[in-house]
Structure 1
């Protein structure tokens, strides 16, 4: 399997898993986001721990400081994403959080010293424009509905972008399993007490959804983390921009969330931007140092 194909398969699989994860979060809006985050990290920790115990995967930690920072930032990003979905809905909440490619691209330029060719900014900012249409379309571009919940979602976007950059940085020293384990163990301790304080009366349905949520999130996170071994920050981020499109569709067809024509147009713009980026990457090939599919 070529590196090109690996990068595409890993990244697109993570897209599907993360879209499904958002649906599961939306199914239990009465469950605290602290509790959902805690269960997600607990299950991820258990899965990686068991696989490592039976020596099915290598689990070694090299850049411990960066692993800790990535785990802390990633844990916060997950919580803010879940909270945004609960408060804003799966469509609008995802649109805000998945505007992170802009932040990720800028951060990668400064933190990873990655160079961005001018032509690559076209699909990047077109994709961002699509996300803006998705998020503001309901008020026809007005900012009257912009409040604390939207700020929470934007905070989730920024922390997600920073976590993605750290994932890419860690691939020079640690494998995907170590990166994910670090996030899970830190997320476990980060949400242990808040989860206990906010846990309400649950039932078997909630528990089942939480367990599936943890499994799906683990698969998605591992595939995304491994995918960034073969694609750079900007490319991976733009592939992930397909998640809010899928969430927009699930919000409409599953949860009966209503969206304006502008929001629908935004979804179309994002898909075209991602396709355009792939075509540009293949056209430029080895000459590209920032958005090529294979590093």
Structure 2
């Protein structure tokens, strides 16, 4: 098996895992998002800790301050993502959250001092327009559906974008396993008390789903991390753009979630805009490499 083919298989595996994760969260809407987040991070700590103990993966921490910030922000982002899925549905919630590449691009200008080419502002503006269509698309006799749930989903997108920017910053000092473990261990402590306070009676089915959820989320993250060893970031990011598409389909076919025409248009605009950002990044990166070769 060629390295490139292996990378593609791993990346597609992570896409499937992330899409399945959203379905599992949606399958137990009565379980607190605090509890779902806590179980996810607990299993993440356990799996990565065991792999590191047997020296199957390297686990060293260098930029501790930013690792803490990434873990704290990432932990909140996961909780808000789960809460968005429970309150808005797997399709609509995912469409909001997966608009994060647009916000991450803007944040990188401020935090990382990165230059953002003018052409990127077109898909960014379209993505924000898609969010507005998605939020206001459910107009009915009671008025627009914009409310706290939609604001929570937008907050999930913003915190996810900020977490991604910190991941990018940390790649200069720490490897992906350390970054993931930092999020898991901080998320564990972040949701330890809230999950205990909100834990209901539950049953064996809920417990099984929570355990599978934690395993799927961790395996998806590890598969994505390993996949990036064999494929470039542009290819990996393009594959990851399939996740909200799969979530929209699962929301419609599995959970019978309904979308108005305007909501559907907004979701499509968001996804297409984010894919366009990935393609623009790839095109600019390829041209810069050619320029360097010529020079």
Query: Normalising by structure 2, what TM-score?
Result: 0.84
C-alpha change, 1:202 and 1:171, in structure 2 (3 Å) is: same
- Identify the residue that residue 18 of structure 1 maps to in structure 2: 18
| Consecutive unaligned residues in structure 2, runs of 5 or more | 290-295
1:231 maps to 2:233: yes
Pairing 1:1-295 to 2, within 5 Å after superposition: 6=7, 12-139=12-139, 144-224=144-224, 230-231=232-233, 240-273=240-273, 276-277=276-277, 279-288=279-288
Alpha-carbon offset, residue 32 of structure 1:
0.6
Is residue 41–residue 187 contact of structure 1 (8 Å, CA) maintained in 2? Answer: yes
C-alpha change, 1:27 and 1:147, in structure 2 (3 Å) is: same
Is residue 167–residue 225 contact of structure 1 (8 Å, CA) maintained in 2? Answer: no
C-alpha change, 1:71 and 1:228, in structure 2 (3 Å) is: farther
The structure whose Rg is larger is: 2
* 1:107-147 superposed Cα distances (whole Å, 9 cap, x missing partner): 1112112222222333343344444434433228x973211
Alpha-carbon offset, residue 216 of structure 1:
1.2
Aligned residues: 285
Is residue 124–residue 238 contact of structure 1 (8 Å, CA) maintained in 2? Answer: no
Is residue 19–residue 246 contact of structure 1 (8 Å, CA) maintained in 2? Answer: yes
* 1:40-83 superposed Cα distances (whole Å, 9 cap, x missing partner): 00001100011001110010001111101100111011111111
Looking at structure 2, the residues matched to 203 and 210 of structure 1 have their Cα atoms a distance apart, in angstroms, of: 11
User: In angstroms, what is the RMSD of aligned CA positions?
Assistant: 3.0
Looking at structure 2, the residues matched to 196 and 260 of structure 1 have their Cα atoms a distance apart, in angstroms, of: 38
* 1:84-122 superposed Cα distances (whole Å, 9 cap, x missing partner): 111111122222222222221111112112222222333
Name whichever of 125-134 and 95-104 sits farther off: 125-134
| Consecutive unaligned residues in structure 1, runs of 5 or more | 290-295
Alpha-carbon offset, residue 11 of structure 1:
5.4
Alpha-carbon offset, residue 237 of structure 1:
6.8
Looking at structure 1, the residues matched to 246 and 279 of structure 2 have their Cα atoms a distance apart, in angstroms, of: 22
Looking at structure 1, the residues matched to 263 and 257 of structure 2 have their Cα atoms a distance apart, in angstroms, of: 12
Is residue 137–residue 262 contact of structure 2 (8 Å, CA) maintained in 1? Answer: yes
Query: Normalising by structure 1, what TM-score?
Result: 0.84
Looking at structure 1, the residues matched to 250 and 227 of structure 2 have their Cα atoms a distance apart, in angstroms, of: 25
